[in-house]
Amino acid sequence: MVDYKNIEDKSNKKKIKVEFSDGDSISVGEENYSYITFENDKALNENIVVEDNEDKAQVISQESIEEETKSKSENLSYEASRKVINDIVVDLFKNILTIEEKSLRLRGIKDLSMSEIHALEAIGTGDGKMMSEVADILDITMGTLTTTISKLETKGYAKREKDPNDRRVVIASLTRKGVLVDKIHRNFHEEMIDHLMIDLKLEEDQALIRALMNINEFFLKEYGGEHGC
């Protein structure tokens, strides 16, 4: 049987009087709060729980039990949320390029890699861009970009020309075929965003935007990269 003379007050109550099954009693605290009657070493007062820790018992209020339970529940909820977020991010990063590539294949674009399509997007329509500017947008080296543009030229999607005002500068631009592919690619992005927002309300849109901005800023800060898509 527990030596209840070693009871430790964990209840944050002013005073707790403990009444033993053999008639003895002990008080803890400064003011009366309640009696605890024991029967077979268990408290009968439903608002108080006594934990038997081998050499002594702890008097714990129901409120503190509920707070501890809530804390554990919140912790479990936090861990569950972490797992869900992790699964979503992993799946998103793993699948988004594959999904985009498959979707573009269905639209007839079958001879371009995603890196080549993104190069076309970076060049954009109009009079073209300097090679160095395109490399900065894609966050790749000039050597890598030169290899990519060479492939796009061979396939008929892009071309390179010397800047008439400065022969040292090379301008990359899209052919009509490249403009068409870029338009199809941009339409895919528009459709993706439309589907994402179709069931969201304005306040939910704003929450999603803030969350995505925070994620983007985190990756930019931790791992570097460029702003924008």
**Which of helix, strand or coil describes residue 18?**
strand
pLDDT of residue 50 exceeding 80, the answer is: no
For the four alpha carbons of 202, 204, 205 and 206, in that order, the dihedral sign comes to: positive
Q: What is the DSSP letter of 126?
A: S
For the four alpha carbons of 208, 210, 212 and 215, in that order, the dihedral sign comes to: negative
State which of 28-32, 200-204, 205-209 shows the largest mean pLDDT: 205-209
Q: What CA–CA distance (Å, rounded) separates 171 from 214?
A: 35
pLDDT of residue 217: 86
Q: Where are the domains of the chain?
A: 103-223
What's the pTM? 0.55
Domain 103-223 has CATH 1.10.10.10: yes
pLDDT of residue 117 exceeding 50, the answer is: yes
What is the CB-side half-sphere exposure of residue 4 using CA atoms within 13 A? Answer: 24
**Residue 105 to residues 110, 111, 119, 179, 182, Cα–Cα distance (Å):** 5, 9, 17, 17, 13
pLDDT of residue 56 exceeding 70, the answer is: no
pLDDT of residue 71: 66
pLDDT exceeding 90 applies to what percent of the chain?
26
Is residue 171 within 8 A of residue 151, CB to CB? The reply is no
pLDDT of residue 13 exceeding 50, the answer is: no
Q: What is the DSSP letter of 111?
A: S
Q: What CA–CA distance (Å, rounded) separates 58 from 4?
A: 9
Q: What CA–CA distance (Å, rounded) separates 17 from 32?
A: 7
pLDDT of residue 21: 46
